[in-house]
Amino acid sequence: MCARLFTRRLRAAATAVRPPARKISNHNFEVNPIVPVFWREKEVINSEKYIIDTTNENMADGPKGNPQLARKMRKVFDEVGLVLLRGNREMGDNLEAMKLWAEFIFPSLSKYEAGANARKGIIPNVYEIGAPKEAWLHFHHEMAYVNESVNGIAFCCREAIEDPEDPLRGATFVSENFGATDDILATEFGQKLKNKGICYIRCLTNKERYSNMDGVYNHWQYSFMTDCPKEAERRAKAKGLEVSWGENGYMKTKCYISGFEYHPQSNRNLLYSAIADHSAWFDQWPTVMEKPYMKTFEGATEEERPLAITFGDDSEMTREELQTFVDVYENHGIPLAWQKGDIAAICNYRFAHGRLPFSLAEGEQRELGVILGQMYKRLGQKDDAW
């Protein structure tokens, strides 16, 4: 055999025998799930520092009608990274006015493009939560899994449970992130995360395959706000994602990025990643929880859960490491037990947010409008800002 032919055959053999696909995030947590607690019953920040009593405040005309309150709101938000306007219950029936207050903190509202959840607009730029009440939502920073994130998130409470017997039912929790960052950097896991970065694997279903959302996480058409796969791919790549397509128009994306984010105001890197982007996100999510964890990126199908995370060198995180990921946030958890008319603005750098599952008795409602802050291009971590 001539040398050239032999080389060609060798090459053909090499491409035919592919290395076994790497397994990712294939821990079976269903028998031993990572159960979030969110709050360790300690006071992380005195609530007087971030709650503004608005009982007797005129708020119906937005910040223009009450500049004094607006200034106070701005000051508290700048100082703490969290502000909760509470007491004016009539605001709960006036979503347009609540939006004006949220917009005062986050003036250029972002469209929920590339978002994780299937969110529908209530009024322009105000979204539903997009997650079932039965599921816990692990602490996370909003849109940390793409290179364009948002600087904050606001919640407007239209209806709340307000059960005196169980005041935290339906509460949202925030986690103070300077503390969480210090804690994680003190662990071996935190140092690995700092040195290796993180890879987010996210798959999106094709809406043509489903008449509704039952059992399905999110369609790429909604996430990227287009029905054209080429355009969706272009938008995904613009957000730093690697894209490949599976069967039935199943869109598979990967994003290699830092697990931290440089925060210019404090001149330090803050923790900006969480277990919320792991298959375990769905451990209590009706219809998706029955599906197995994603086993490989290459072989991922819509029969598996659509999320996975690894370190940035594609190596797996152990269950212990993922537990540490949850613990550092929970050590700094703060409950926000909603009352009708509450408006909360949360800095996405300085706080993570999440919630427990909750139940609703007959006649009870819990309705929050979500408003996203300004979009910004992620910088990742800076070497001299630890």
> Total binding residues for Fe ion by CB under 5 A?
1
Q: In angstroms, rounded to a whole number, what is the distance separating the alpha carbons of residues 239 and 146?
A: 6
Q: In angstroms, rounded to a whole number, what is the distance separating the alpha carbons of residues 124 and 96?
A: 10
Q: In angstroms, rounded to a whole number, what is the distance separating the alpha carbons of residues 342 and 336?
A: 10
Q: Which residues contact 301 (CB under 8 A, 6 or more apart)?
A: 246, 247, 250
- In the bound state with Fe ion, the residue whose beta carbon lies nearer, of 295 and 366, is 366
Strand partners, 123: 126
Closest approach of Fe ion to the CB of residue 129, in Å? 8
- In the bound state with Fe ion, the residue whose beta carbon lies nearer, of 59 and 372, is 372
- In the bound state with Fe ion, the residue whose beta carbon lies nearer, of 142 and 183, is 142
Closest approach of Fe ion to the CB of residue 333, in Å? 15
Closest approach of Fe ion to the CB of residue 160, in Å? 18
Closest approach of Fe ion to the CB of residue 131, in Å? 8
Residue whose beta carbon is closest to Fe ion: 142
Per-residue string for binding with Fe ion, 211-250, x by CB under 5 A? ----------------------------------------
- In the bound state with Fe ion, the residue whose beta carbon lies nearer, of 59 and 347, is 347
State which of positions 139-168 bind Fe ion (CB under 5 A). Answer: 142
- In the bound state with Fe ion, the residue whose beta carbon lies nearer, of 142 and 261, is 142
Per-residue string for binding with Fe ion, 103-142, x by CB under 5 A? ---------------------------------------x
Closest approach of Fe ion to the CB of residue 353, in Å? 6
Binding site for Fe ion (CB under 5 A): 142
